């Protein structure tokens, strides 16, 4: 079984300006998405909306061994991450179908597979750069 992260980017200002009826439609799309996942044999490990990006804390190295912590999102963008699903699945093609159905109703999705132990996540071809995992954390 593989694990996938379904990221839900959204234009926050547009979403906030929508009438309540549109919010209800959005929630109904997610209810249908959850039914589709269950019918497809996918397992929702966890899922949640996120608070607005204006409430985020961003942290960057300060170049002197410390951190700079600022209010607000890491990236200045119209679209911000609005929520996520963490899914276990044996059928990537059907998971893509479920996500496509959610998108066809007006949503946005970025589907990412979580790396497995020993899997090269560097994007390079050299095996020397394969990360080491310990207790579920990238070292």
Does 2-114 carry CATH code 3.40.50.300?
no
Total length of the chain: 139
Is the pLDDT reported for residue 128 higher than 60?
no
pTM of the entire structure? 0.80
Domain definitions of the chain by residue range: 2-114
Question: Could you tell me how many helices (H) and strands (E) the chain has, helices first?
Answer: 3, 8
Per-residue buried b or exposed e for 10-36, using 16+ beta carbons within 10 Å of the residue's own CB: bebeeeeeeeeeeeeebeebbeebbeb
83-127: per-residue pLDDT in tens? Answer: 999 999 999 999 999 999 999 998 899 999 999 888 888 877 555
């Amino acid at each position: 079984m593989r694990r996938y992260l379904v990221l839900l980017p959204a234009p926050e200002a547009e979403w906030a300006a929508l009438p309540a009826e549109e919010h209800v439609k959005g929630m109904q799309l997610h209810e249908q998405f959850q039914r589709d996942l269950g019918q497809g044999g996918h397992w929702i490990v966890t899922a949640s909306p996120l608070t607005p990006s204006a409430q985020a804390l961003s942290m960057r190295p300060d170049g002197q061994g410390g951190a700079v912590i600022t209010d607000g999102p890491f990236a200045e963008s119209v679209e911000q991450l609005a929520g996520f699903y963490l899914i276990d699945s044996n059928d990537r093609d059907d998971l893509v179908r479920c996500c496509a159905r959610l998108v066809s109703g007006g949503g946005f999705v970025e589907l990412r597979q979580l790396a497995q132990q020993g899997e090269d996540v560097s994007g390079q071809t050299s095996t020397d750069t394969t990360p080491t995992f310990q207790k579920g954390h990238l070292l």
